[in-house]
Amino acid sequence: MLMYYVYLLKNKRINRLYIGYTENLRRQLDEYKKNDNSIELVYYEAYMHEKQACERERKLKIYGSAWRGLKKRLGI
């Protein structure tokens, strides 16, 4: 079954967070690490439908309350 992932990456070198979504989390993480080895996966959520993952990513990027809630849960 194909899954879609919303993920949160951290660049340890510059202490910056990045949110995205993909259907292949392993490949996406490998691509980031190939370009910058200071990247680490902090968090991810799995969804059965691409539309759900895309909507969650959009809410985290656009709506401050969703982003603040996630950061609070993760202790970031």
Kindly write down the DSSP assignment for every residue of 12-58, as one continuous string.
TTTTEEEEEEES-HHHHHHHHHHH-TTEEEEEEEEESSHHHHHHHHH
Write down the pLDDT at residue 72. 86
Write down the pLDDT at residue 20. 95
What CATH number should be reported for the domain whose range is 4-74? 3.40.1440.10
Write down the pLDDT at residue 64. 80
Write down the pLDDT at residue 75. 84
Q: What is the pLDDT of residues 25-73, one digit of tens each?
A: 999 999 988 888 889 999 999 999 999 999 999 999 987 888 888 888 8
Rounded-to-integer distance, Cα 70 and Cα 1, Å: 27
Contacts of 9 (CB under 8 A, 6+ apart): 17, 18, 19, 20, 29, 32, 39, 40, 41, 42
